[in-house]
Structure 1
Amino acid sequence: MAACNKINTDSPKLYIRIMGENSWGYNDEKGNSIIPLGKYKFLNLIDEKGMIYAQKGTKYGYIDIHENIVIPFEYDALGIFSEELAFAKKNNKYGYINRNGEIIIPTQFDNESYFQKTGLALVKKRNLQGFINKKGKEIIPIIYQNAHNTTFDSLVILCKNQKWAFYDSFGKQKTDFIYDEIALTDINLKGIEGDTFWKNGLILVRKNDQTGYLDKNLKEAIPFGKYDSGEKFNQNRIAIISKNHKYGIINEFGKEILKPEYDTLEHPEEDYHESEIFEGKNKNYITLLDKHGNKIYDKIKGYTFDFSRLGNTVKRVYIIRNLKNQCGVVDGEGKVIIPFIYDEIQDFNGTVNTIVKLKKKFGLVNSDNKIVYPIECESITTWKDLDYYIINKNNTVGIIDKNLKSILKFDYQDLSPCFYDKNRFIAKKDNKYGVIDRLGRTIIPFEYSEMSNWVEYGPGSNYHFVIKNNKNGLITKEGKIVIPAIYDSLFYNDDNTIILSKNGKYGVVTIHNKNVIPFEYEKIYSDLAFVPDRNANEFYVLKNGKYFIVDNKNKIIKANLSKKEVEDKFSYLN
Structure 2
Amino acid sequence: MMKMKNTMGLLSLFISIFVFSQTKSVKKYPAKKVVKTVLKKKAEPKINPDLVVINEDVPVLIPQKKDGKFGYVNQKGKFIIQPEYHIAVFFAEDCNLLNSPNEKIRKFGTKEYGTVEKDLISYRVDQSGKRVYQYKNSDLGQCKIEFKQQQYQAYILNGFYGIIEPSKFVNAADYRDYQIYPQYEYLHIMEGDDVSNPMIVASHNDRFGVIDVHNKIVIPFEYSNIKRNFSWKLGKMFEVTKDGTTYYYIDSKNKAY
TM range (shorter): 0.3 to 0.5
Higher relative contact order (CA 8 A, sep 6+): 2
TM-score by length of 2: 0.33
Larger Rg: 2
**Structure 1 or 2: more strand by fraction:** 1
* TM-score of the two chains, using structure 1 as the length reference: 0.16
Q: Higher helix proportion, which one?
A: 2
